Amino acid sequence: MASAHIEMDVQHHEDSADGRRSDHEPLVKYYRASEPLPGVKPVLHNFLRKGPASWAAVQASSGILSVGIGVMFAASFDINFFLLTLFRVPIVTGILFILTGIMSNVLYRHPELLQTCFFANIVCLIVSVVGMILLSIDLGIHVPHKIQYKMEVLVLCVTLMDTIIAAVLIFLIHREKQNQKH
């Protein structure tokens, strides 16, 4: 049998005007805890205090930026001239980051998506690293100081930011999963 030592304040129920109890009335005592006990922490409480929704919002918004740049790049330049447009790097990474960002953002309402979100962030990390390698090769081939080169540098910076965000979310989710096991 479990027991706890909790101090209680005892309050007496007294109906008489002068504050004395009469003999024929039953003695009624109210017990109230002196200090409240901590409540049950919700699922993923420690994880959600670290602000994954903020990271996820940045992840989704950078995905929107990446898709926009990718569409603009594909519409403006020859499709076979750049690896960036040939493999649709910013469009694919952007769509993945939008979906993963939205999924990471709804974790507070649906904690059962934690494992799915973890794997989606790993896929985003892998795709963005492959995209950064393709962009780096593309940057090494083309002439600097042209508008295409500058646009590719911008896409590389956005993809690098996406990679860092995915890595941070993977780290936070992995640590939360380890804490749940213990």
Q: What is the mean pLDDT of each run of 10 residues along the chain (182 residues)?
A: 59 52 57 66 62 82 89 77 71 91 84 88 92 86 76 86 89 81 70
- pLDDT at residue 29 in the model: 61
Nearest CA to 162 out of 83, 106, 105, 90 is that of: 90
Instruction: Give kind and range of the element (H or E) at residue 112.
Output: none
- Distance set, CA 161 to CA 4, 12, 128 (Å): 51, 64, 10
DSSP 32: E
- pLDDT at residue 119 in the model: 94
- pLDDT at residue 23 in the model: 57
d(CA 108, CA 54): 12
d(CA 106, CA 117): 10
- pLDDT at residue 129 in the model: 92
Tokens of 139: 């940057």
Tokens of 180: 């749940």
Q: Indicate whether this model's pTM tops 0.75.
A: no
Beta carbons of 55 and 169 less than 8 angstroms apart: yes
d(CA 78, CA 48): 45
